Amino acid sequence: MRVLIVGIAGFAGRYLARELEALGHEVWGTVRSAPPAAPRFERWPTVRCDVTDPTTIGEALERVEPDGIVLLAGLSFAPEANRDPAAAYRVHALGTAHLLGEVARCNSKIRVVVVTSGQIYGAAAENEMPLGEASALHPTSAYATSKAAADAIAAAWSTSYGGSIVRVRPFNHTGPGQRPEFVCPDFARQVARVARGVSEPVIEVGNIDVVRDFSDIRDIVRGYAAALVHGRSGEVYNLCSGVGTSVRDVLTSLCDLAQIRPEIRVNVDRQRKAESRVFLGSPRKAEVELGWRPEIPLRKTLADLLEAALEHEGLPDPGV
């Protein structure tokens, strides 16, 4: 299958490219700016495509003639999207509509995986956990509402216009290469600096007693690939572990791996408003219909994050 990854240069995009290539698929990607004379991202060919501009989408589809598309383009960091709600809606909601419209115009047989977010479930009560695909959506931020709009557009398009469209809702995921603003790489960076001795033995945190559903990015992109091949058109799948881990336990594991015992200092500027104490998804449907389940233990993910952070800080791996 020739697969076009819309947003190949992002955190998930490069992992997905490697996964699809390993499975024997031909991988292409998109970049927003005009590519150079020999357009490539790492070893994969790319074409220009801005999801807010339908013309560039159509040109990309005509150039690549893909059998499948995975839509990853978006504002991945929720606070960034919340600071610019209009941009979030342009990229997530209108971008999805533009892409599906161009697919219908060029070749309605193209298989499309639309990646949204587990955050679209929003403010759910603890007794509703774990959240399944039939759970009500109560998004509480610009990021979540724009992703919910993309999810709804994809569902409506599949019902009203046909085509082969599958939606996936990934919950929290992390791994080496994730932007340092996210909690796990942020903690890994702070821990690495303390272990190296370039920072005082203090870790700044926000609310670390919240419980989240963490998965490894390498497992999540396996889910994207499984949805592309095995997902039922019109259906939606949670990609998550179903296991709750407190952010405090994440930090404790990183400190144990680095063999440090720093002071934990709460910084109110790091705390988010209206956070759910517990937020978990159910991976059952993906297990049954896609044959997918997460395989990488969280401690392995955190060890890899810490190793990458230590290398960045110029310190050898202390045995993680």
Q: How many other β-carbons are positioned within 10 Å of the β-carbon of residue 33?
A: 7
In whole angstroms, what is the distance from residue 286 CA to residue 168 CA?
9
> Does 268 fall in a domain?
yes
Q: Is residue 163 part of a domain?
A: yes
Instruction: Please tell me whether the overall predicted TM-score, pTM, comes out greater than 0.85 for this model.
Output: yes
Same domain, 124 and 231: yes
For position 188, which CATH number holds? 3.90.25.10
> Residue 218 belongs to what H/E stretch?
helix 217-230
Residue 53 and residue 97 in one domain: yes
Residues 100 and 143 in one domain: yes
pLDDT tens, the chain, 320 aa long:
999 999 999 999 999 999 999 999 999 999 987 655 557 778 899 999 999 999 999 999 999 999 999 999 988 777 777 788 899 999 999 999 999 999 999 877 899 999 999 999 998 888 899 999 999 999 989 999 999 999 999 999 998 887 899 999 999 999 999 998 899 999 999 999 999 999 999 999 999 999 999 999 999 999 999 999 999 999 999 999 999 999 999 999 999 999 999 999 998 777 666 678 999 999 999 999 999 999 999 999 999 999 999 987 655 554 44
Determine the structural domain holding residue 91 and report its residue range. 2-174+215-239
The CATH number of residue 121's host domain is 3.40.50.720
Number of domains in the chain: 2
* Domain co-membership, 166 together with 251: no
Statement to judge: residues 219 and 303 lie in one domain: no
Considering the domain architecture, whether residues 126 and 226 belong to the same structural domain is answered as yes
Give the contacts of 153 (CB within 8 A, at least 6 positions apart): 93, 96, 97, 100
Same domain as 235, residue 256: no
Q: Is residue 292 part of a domain?
A: no
89 and 169, same domain (yes or no): yes
Q: 93 and 30 in one domain?
A: yes
